[in-house]
Chain A
Amino acid sequence: MSNLVTKDHTQAASKSKPNGIWPKRWQTNSLKVRLILSTLLMTMILLPIVGVTLSNAFEQQLYISLKNELKASSYSIFTVAEVENSTLVMPELLLDNQFNISQSGLYALITTLPVPSIDSGVKQVQPINSKDPLWQSQSLLTLTIPTLLPQPEVGTTQLTTINLQNHQHLLYSFSVSFSDNGQAFPVTLHLIKDQQASLAALHHFRQQLWLWLLVLMAVFIIVQVVWLLWTLKPLTQLTHELESIEKGEQNALNSRYPDELQQVTQQLNALLVTEENQRNRYRNALADLAHSLKNPLAVIQSQPGINSSGQEQLQRINQIIEHQLKRAQSAGQSAWHLGVQIEPVLDKLLTTLAKIYRDKAITFNVQLESKFTFKGDEADLMEMLGNILDNACKAANGQVAIKITAQHAKLIIEIADDGIGINESQQAVILSRGGRADTYQAGHGIGLAIVNDLVASYQGQLLIANSSTLSGAAFTLIFDL
């Protein structure tokens, strides 16, 4: 009972382990996807911000230069203005010809600035009706003068926009006070500039800016993707090499890796070698142990005059040694499984079996769909196949069929013979045998028990049935591909 509880516990623990704060569908395990996403994010957010900033800066600069231009024009107008006897005297033509040509786009007019009432103590400046300007430039003659104009205080300027002839115009107002025989004569100069040209320039600039930003964005993304593939190439290579190792096509990482990965790959190679060596050492030690235990047994057994119960006990001791040593040797529990090509292992076994069962002249019918690999130890694979094939050869009249296929990511090895088969009760007995060698009765082969143990250590399955094609039994081994 306690065993069951422990099993459940480990299952539950391994099943639900949250590995981040993000919901599962937002998580990605691919470095490539992560890098591409961050690149896209950077390009899609950073470049537009750059675009907007540049565009705003350009617009502001445009306004500032327009303002400066208008300021300069205002000074040139005030230089030529004079007040005589409370009348503003202006020359007929101004120096800047844009003021002289009708509808040129640059206009000027001067209005009186009412003196604010001092009594109230509050300087109130009201926009005035400017139907009667003191002066207006020739360019403005044919146009309707805008009515409400701002009245900034003397000495100050104001920049606004007005609508003139359905066009947006910039309006620059500057108030000054002339002195006419000791009396103040405050006026406001209004300069009106058509914004069409500057708006067009701004529009053009924006168009160009965004076009080039888009081009830059595309180039940036392409460069990033290429850079990414180049950077991640060693990782891709590592994945490929690991796959080859798993398939048993190579037994170490061979390529040159960048310095950052070098340590990992070197350690991995070292681990592979150590694991292999350790397993070999272990196997040799166990083989030596078997040798030193079995020789004395062989001596005892070869002595004349041993009775049958003595023989039986010897047989039992031998089987226990055999089974436990084989279980200890199995690499099934190992965390790292190198792949083993099945075909060469099978070929070797069939050559050997053909020699052992030469008198029977058994025909081996091998059906191997493709070059399958077994994820595990070669010795274990050979032990499983060898024992089942040996049984099949013993049972067969003359034919043994081996079929190796893959279905639903599972490796399926079926071995059938044309013997008399195994009835269902026997099949159950074979499969229900426990893992303890000393539960077997003398004379029973331990071959299948070892197969059963090995299959279990690889989380595989062993099925026994009657063959559908041949008259005898069919043993099926199922493993993860």
Chain B
Amino acid sequence: MRLLLIEDDLALQANLQTHLQQDNYLVDVASDGEVGLFQGQEYPYDAAIIDVGLPKIDGISVIKKLREQDISFPILVLTARDSWQDKVAGLDAGADDYLTKPFQAEELLARLNALIRRSVGQSSPLITNGPLSLNTKSCQVEVNNRAIKLSSSEYKLLEYMMLHLEEVSSKAVLTEHIYDQDFDLDSNVIEVFIRRLRKKLDPNNNYNFIETLRGRGYKLKRIQSQ
């Protein structure tokens, strides 16, 4: 999952980035509204965390401009102002939830998790697809109730595909959602991860979870429970 974090307080930005990365998120940061808006327009993020009080362009305007361009990823607003007027203004501009500073990191992660799930029409942290289940909260993956150990990159790849079932994702898209922005794009890496995932999830090729569409990308197929 790739996140955009726009926060002007560098210490807070760094702390949040650490927390989010620990929770398997890829985090792009911006320290002012202008850079944040540009990044939000350029990259297909899974969610954004935007502070209200930003230099250059304030947070509310950034949200408004993103929404005006039909950019629909969920947005969590961070605000030091705890009045209902500010909450209403934030959510009215197009944000999906708000969090008042100071907050506990766990609270932020829980809200973010819920927002991302909700944005793909998933209300519980446990996503299942036939014998395959993935818990976005605990980052655990099971096939037929048997726990599967995945590396961080493999988990990120599977989580993204689970949240986008039956959607074709190109190698480029997958790379963007799994690697930091400065990572040198090498499409072979995705191929390697896909091969490993197939092996770990379905060693006997019973389900054929991941389908390859030549020249277009990969798709996680919906499998009816037996």
| Chain A residues at the B interface, C-beta cutoff of 8 Å | 287, 290-291, 293-295, 297-304, 311, 314, 318, 322, 326, 329, 348-349, 351-352, 355-356, 358-359, 378-379, 382-383, 385-387
Contact = CB atoms under 8 A, between A and B. Distances in A.
Nearest to A389: B84
A301 B9 CA distance: 14
Contacts of A293: 80
Interface string B74-99: 00001011111111100110001110
B123 A382 contact: no
Nearest to A291: B80
A171 B166 CA distance: 135
A294 B80 contact: yes
A379 B83 contact: yes
Interface in B103-118: 103-105, 114, 118
Interface of B: 9, 11-12, 15-16, 18-19, 53, 78, 80-88, 91-92, 96-98, 101-105, 114, 118, 123
Nearest to B15: A302
A263 B88 CA distance: 39
Contacts of A379: 83-85
B81 A387 contact: no
Contact of B104 (A294, A301, A349, A385): A301
Contacts of A301: 102-105
A290 B82 contact: yes
Contact of A287 (B81, B104, B123): B81
A4 B36 CA distance: 57
A351 B91 contact: yes
Contacts of A359: 114, 118, 123
A291 B15 CA distance: 18
A348 B12 contact: no
Across the A-B interface, the 4 shortest Cβ-Cβ residue pairs:
A386-B84, A302-B15, A298-B102, A297-B102
A303 B17 CA distance: 11
Contacts of A295: 9, 12, 80, 101
Contacts of A386: 84, 87-88
Interface centre among B11, B19, B85 (most CB of A within 10 A): B85
A348 B89 CA distance: 9
Given A298-B80, A301-B102, 10 more contacts: A287-B83, A295-B9, A298-B103, A301-B105, A311-B104, A348-B92, A349-B84, A349-B88, A359-B114, A386-B87
B87 A314 contact: no
B84 A351 contact: no
Given A298-B9, A299-B15, A355 B91 contact: yes
Nearest to B96: A355
A277 B151 CA distance: 57
16 contacts: A290-B81, A291-B53, A295-B9, A295-B80, A297-B102, A298-B103, A299-B15, A301-B104, A314-B102, A348-B88, A352-B88, A358-B118, A379-B83, A382-B88, A383-B84, A385-B84
Contacts of A322: 82
A210 B216 CA distance: 111
B114 to A, nearest CB: 8
Nearest to A348: B88
A382 B101 contact: no
Contacts of A302: 12, 15-16, 19, 102-103, 105
A372 B53 CA distance: 34
B84 A300 contact: no
Given A291-B81, A298-B103, A303 B15 contact: yes
B96 to A, nearest CB: 7
A300 to B, nearest CB: 7
Interface centre among A301, A304, A322, A383 (most CB of B within 10 A): A301
A283 to B, nearest CB: 8
B186 to A, nearest CB: 32
A383 B12 CA distance: 28
Contacts of B98: 356
Contacts of A290: 80-82
A318 B80 CA distance: 10
B118 A318 contact: no
A368 B102 CA distance: 37
A315 to B, nearest CB: 8
Given A291-B53, A355-B96, A359-B123, A299 B83 contact: no
Contacts of B83: 287, 326, 329, 379, 382-383
Contacts of A385: 84
A297 B102 CA distance: 6
A356 B19 contact: no
A268 B35 CA distance: 45
Contacts of B15: 299, 302-304
A359 B80 CA distance: 25
B14 to A, nearest CB: 9
Nearest to B19: A302
Contacts of B86: 287
A257 to B, nearest CB: 34
A290 to B, nearest CB: 5
A318 B96 contact: no
Contacts of A287: 80-81, 83, 86
A314 B20 CA distance: 21
A297 to B, nearest CB: 4
Interface centre among B84, B88, B101 (most CB of A within 10 A): B84
Nearest to A311: B104
A342 to B, nearest CB: 14
Interface centre among A295, A301, A311, A358 (most CB of B within 10 A): A295
Given A302-B12, A304-B18, A297 B101 contact: yes
Contacts of A348: 88, 92
Nearest to A301: B102
Interface centre among A297, A298, A349, A356 (most CB of B within 10 A): A298
A379 B91 CA distance: 16
A270 B114 CA distance: 49
B92 A352 contact: yes
